[in-house]
Amino acid sequence: MTKTTSTVLITVLLGAVLSGCDSGDPASPSPSASAGRQELLALGQEWVQCLRDKGLTRMPDADLTPEGYLQFPPQDGYNWKDDLRTRPAIIEACKAIEDRYPANAFRPRQQFSADDLRKLAEFAECARRNGLPGFPDPNAQGEFDLGGTPLANGVPGDKINHVSEACRTVWDGDVRITGGNEVKK
């Protein structure tokens, strides 16, 4: 190969590689990333439909976060995760669809530091002082399990709003509640 041919070949290859790069703006995914996101959303909705067909009729629709992770946002205070945990036959019936999710389908779980867990425990104390005397301490995953507490049947919306406002200086991150209906109307 001549020097001119090598230079042209390298230039063409370099141009091909660079044209495949994105603009560097994570807010505007490349067309192939958008297609992957739509496929992920379709797979999520397929799983939702399976769950509904098998009896979990209130299962919310699949959705994508702005970062492209799959999510199933609760609606009207319905805790679909707790409901699904009590129905192993439905989980098994739809497992083949769930097994097709790529490893990066969901946002990685936040790992809480010892300091975060201390702040969440202070948040629980604050919640008890501000109208929710049965509010539990957080577990090791940073979740507040309402199961077995007076709040297992739901937390009145006005009280949770009051606690959120009163305790914001203690903890302003996400508050994960499990084991009960999150909010009563």
Decide: helix, strand or coil at residue 143: strand
Q: What is the pLDDT along the chain (185 residues), one digit of tens a residue?
A: 444 333 333 333 333 333 343 444 444 343 345 558 899 999 999 999 999 999 999 999 999 988 888 889 888 878 888 888 889 999 999 999 999 999 888 877 667 788 889 999 999 999 999 999 999 999 888 888 888 888 888 777 788 888 888 998 998 777 888 876 555 44
Q: What is residue 130's predicted lDDT score, i.e. its pLDDT?
A: 94
Instruction: For CA atoms 61, 46, 81, 129, give the dihedral sign.
Output: negative
Max distance between CA atoms of the chain, in angstroms, equals: 82
Separation CA 46–CA 62 (nearest Å): 9
> Which two tokens mark 36?
């992957």
pLDDT in tens, 87-108: 999 999 999 999 999 988 887 7
Q: What is the pLDDT of residue 33?
A: 58
* 85-93, Cβ contacts within 8 angstroms, sequence gap of 24 or more: 87/55, 87/56, 89/54, 90/51, 90/54, 90/55, 90/56, 93/50, 93/54
pLDDT of residue 35: 58
pLDDT of amino acid 29 = 41
Q: Are the beta carbons of 143 and 124 closer than 8 angstroms?
A: no
pLDDT (0 to 100) of residue 123? 94
Whether residue 184 contacts residue 156, with contact meaning beta carbons closer than 8 Å, is answered with yes
Q: In 3-state terms, what secondary structure has residue 108? A: coil
**Nearest C-alpha neighbor of 160 from the set 131, 137, 139:** 131
Alpha helices in the chain (DSSP H): 3-19, 31-53, 80-85, 88-93, 95-98, 114-129, 157-166
Query: Each residue of 143-165: pLDDT tens digit?
Result: 888 888 888 887 777 888 888 88
pLDDT attached to residue 180: 67
Q: Cβ atoms within 10 A of the Cβ of 11, count? A: 10
